[in-house]
Amino acid sequence: MRAKIITIGDEILIGQIVDTNSAWLSSELNKCGIAVGEILSVSDNGDCISSCLDEALRDYELVLVTGGLGPTKDDITKQSLCSLFACGLKNDEASFEHNRAMLTQRGIPFTELNRCQSNVPEACTVLFNRNGTAPGMMFERDGHYLVCMPGVPYEMKTIFAEQLAPRLDKIFRLGAVYHKTMITTGMAESVLAATIERWETDLHEGLKLAYLPNPNGVRLRLSSYTLGKEEAEHAVEEAFRELGKIIPDNIIGYEGASVESAVADMLRERSYTLSVAESCTGGRIASRFTAMAGASDYFLGGVTAYTVAVKSEVLGVPQATISEYGVVSEPVARAMAEGVAALTGSDFAIATTGVAGPSGGTEQTPVGTVWMAVKTPWGTVAEVRVFNSEREVNIERASAYAMDMLRMQLKKAKA
Amino acid sequence: MRAKIITIGDEILIGQIVDTNSAWLSSELNKCGIAVGEILSVSDNGDCISSCLDEALRDYELVLVTGGLGPTKDDITKQSLCSLFACGLKNDEASFEHNRAMLTQRGIPFTELNRCQSNVPEACTVLFNRNGTAPGMMFERDGHYLVCMPGVPYEMKTIFAEQLAPRLDKIFRLGAVYHKTMITTGMAESVLAATIERWETDLHEGLKLAYLPNPNGVRLRLSSYTLGKEEAEHAVEEAFRELGKIIPDNIIGYEGASVESAVADMLRERSYTLSVAESCTGGRIASRFTAMAGASDYFLGGVTAYTVAVKSEVLGVPQATISEYGVVSEPVARAMAEGVAALTGSDFAIATTGVAGPSGGTEQTPVGTVWMAVKTPWGTVAEVRVFNSEREVNIERASAYAMDMLRMQLKKAKA
């Protein structure tokens, strides 16, 4: 049982937008036991769409299409679908009523374009879109299925979860592709590979290992394509348990876990609170914590201290310390962490001060240099790193590193 | 002259990572006048790689491959390349020396895996990777070119810009695909389409229009595939000039422009300063400003005020105001903006207070409700919106909306 994902839109081929839908869909399909064979992006030109969909529907049992819908680009896609399934258009009343009500509520005028959005090819089953105006559509041909969904990510996701997944479950007898991913941090890919070489060699032969590095660390994915579900689960659990003995300090968690979610779990567990004082990371650490639902359980707040004045006046870093050691220094990082903890009354605090780049570096403090401090109830620790990369990566790495320093402190407290 | 982009890696097909490389490469190729016909993601399995590359090299004059390199996954890709071009491996001395020096500097041990990374197929031209350990490789067959680059984005980008682009320029006579994108905000896609309908109908027949919506607004892309470069540029300029008369307040800029970059430009122009006080956006606004190089020209700092205590004690929002109106209210938003401006001494300030979700909503203040205020030297303005979406989208939309309120104030000041 294999699927192909097709995204329609010149905006992808000219590099204007990044295709995040395919990654999300692949992940969901895999969870259902459907392997994705190919992901293809094509132009929103009628001929391309028709021939691609036709071919994909021949080769794959399931073809998921995103994009090519929406008030201003319905025409081409829906015409291609009508000709592919030899039918005309009909109006879907439920979608029509929903669209009119939704736009009225938002105070957006209901136009002719909106009216046309509830038209669908007669051959389709409508997949209701409660978050938007473009309904999803499902078609069948010789036991193969084609599903079209709008490209807006949260609309597509809701349609998939609420309308499509239950139908796929009924239609296909879903198999047992199995993946589990361990999230590690604090070890470069090559060092990690050398450290776990023997473990890798000894892996169950039905498992496949992949290394997935990013600025926050390296993820290790174990996959089974051939074992039965229970055997796969068991082999993976066993392998990760062994790995836990080899790199105990570098494991953050599994799947969607991140250094911030690991920290959040540990803070919550003990009713600890956190605040942050950020210079070069500029709000990124606060933003990563508050992006998670329920952050108010432990996150009190933060100060983005971009200037010397904010560092001294708001966070209470002594002017003399700044003059003597410079803004990017251990004493300033420590004083920032302690200052924001005092200001907010938090148990823990993270602070960063550094040179994100591309300019602002000196010989002594090159671009990428970041001092990071973590204030805990049992003292403050500080470290410096030189993240010699571009601005965005430096900010991301410094944020991850500083949060991981807190994770290590919390781990120590727990032990 | 058309290209195909192929990304290698099961991590994409199982949805573990989002393929951002293809978007970046597409954009760069388009700038060079090379149209991208297809983007394909395939498994990192030897048979798939060989057959895909072989087919792509037959159909396209240029094939760009990313991924499938790196200390732990070199083998399969390099073996496939050796068999495709009927050659063996050789060691590239420059890459070898570079890798050893780089890892030593970072304090990472040089392993056998790192040593193998400087091996390349004999048939290739090496594209030096100064940011990483996996060299790029370029192959030629019957006048068609295949280029393999590592998947790590900043390594790939540097190889492309420094090593590949100059070579492509020499090898191919580059044509004239032309795109320009206007960034708009503050108008829903359907309303925008209705507003500019006549303009769209009157467009030069050699131009193609695309609507690209995201949580920050709608981008309008004009493309020419058939006109000469000068004619295309002229027609696009003319069309956008006309559009500027129809929606003057909704245009932020072009290409990579964003509401924050437009605000930054206006602040810088007049040497104004900015600070932010964020509750529900949790540091996102600060983070978006500081993600841009040179933010310290105008950005003084910010306070992420997640608790009532931080709002009152750090930002000076009166307890009585909070008790009387509630945390998510106009008076609190105003007091936060004025408070952070007083604290940092900034000319302007942005504040947000709301319910990002998924929980925390009430009947009176449903999830997605956000009060936003902008403090200016000529007074403070405030607005409320209900962004009825998921947490991430609510945070993103509230951030964009609040920044756009500041943009409108700065625009007014300028007029």
Per-residue pLDDT of chain A (415 residues; tens, 9 = 90+): 789 999 998 888 988 888 999 999 998 898 777 889 999 998 888 888 888 999 999 999 999 999 988 777 667 889 899 999 999 999 999 999 999 988 887 778 888 888 888 999 999 999 999 988 899 999 999 999 999 999 988 899 999 999 999 899 888 866 567 889 999 998 888 899 999 999 999 999 999 898 888 778 899 999 887 888 889 999 999 999 999 999 999 999 998 899 999 999 999 999 999 999 999 999 999 999 999 999 999 999 999 999 999 999 999 999 999 999 999 999 999 999 999 999 999 999 999 999 999 999 998 899 999 999 999 999 999 999 998 788 998 999 999 999 999 999 999 887 7
The answer to whether A72 contacts B193, with C-beta atoms less than 8 Å apart, is: yes
Distance (Å) from the alpha carbon of B42 to chain A's nearest alpha carbon: 6
Cα separation, B338 vs B373, in Å, equals 9
Backbone angles phi, psi at A5, to 5 degrees: -110, 130
The answer to whether A303 contacts B307, with C-beta atoms less than 8 Å apart, is: no
Tell me the average pLDDT across B281-286.
Answer: 98
**For residue A218, what pLDDT is reported?**
92
**Contact predicate A334/A350, CB 8 Å:** no
**For residue A157, what pLDDT is reported?**
94
Judged by a CB distance cut-off of 8 A, whether residue B114 touches chain A is yes
Judged by a CB distance cut-off of 8 A, whether residue B391 touches chain A is yes
Q: List the one residue out of B13, B139, B93, B284 whose CA is nearest residue A4.
A: B13
Distance (Å) from the alpha carbon of B300 to chain A's nearest alpha carbon: 5
The answer to whether A284 contacts B282, with C-beta atoms less than 8 Å apart, is: no
**For residue A112, what pLDDT is reported?**
82
DSSP conformation letters of B322-368: HHHH-SSSHHHHHHHHHHHHHHHT-SEEEEEEE--SSS---SSS-TT
Cα separation, B147 vs A152, in Å, equals 32
Distance (Å) from the alpha carbon of B9 to chain A's nearest alpha carbon: 9
Judged by a CB distance cut-off of 8 A, whether residue A224 touches chain B is no
Q: Which tokens go with B290?
A: 């500081």
Cα separation, A46 vs A44, in Å, equals 6
Judged by a CB distance cut-off of 8 A, whether residue A23 touches chain B is yes
Secondary structure of residue A53 in the 3-state scheme: helix
**Contact predicate A206/A232, CB 8 Å:** yes
Residue B11 pLDDT class (50, 70, 90 cuts): confident
Q: Which tokens go with A208?
A: 């496949």
The answer to whether A191 contacts B154, with C-beta atoms less than 8 Å apart, is: no
Residue B175 pLDDT class (50, 70, 90 cuts): low
**For residue B415, what pLDDT is reported?**
72
**For residue A172, what pLDDT is reported?**
81
**Chain B residues within an 8 Å CB radius of A154:** 389-390, 393
Residues 6+ apart with CB under 8 A from A100: A110, A114
Adjacent-strand bridge partners of A149: A66
The answer to whether B14 contacts A27, with C-beta atoms less than 8 Å apart, is: yes
**Chain A residues within an 8 Å CB radius of B296:** 306-307, 360
Judged by a CB distance cut-off of 8 A, whether residue A124 touches chain B is no
Residue B319 is which amino acid? Q
Residues 6+ apart with CB under 8 A from B100: B110, B114
Q: Is the peptide bond prior to A358 cis by the omega test (within 30 degrees of 0)?
A: yes
Question: Between chain A and chain B, how many beta carbons pairs sit less than 8 Å apart?
Answer: 324
**For residue B74, what pLDDT is reported?**
63
The answer to whether B13 contacts A28, with C-beta atoms less than 8 Å apart, is: no
**For residue B327, what pLDDT is reported?**
96
Q: Of the candidates A36, A71, A356, which has its C-beta nearest B190's C-beta? A: A71
Judged by a CB distance cut-off of 8 A, whether residue A219 touches chain B is yes
Closest residue on chain B to A183 (Cα): B16
Cα separation, B283 vs B344, in Å, equals 16
**For residue B244, what pLDDT is reported?**
96
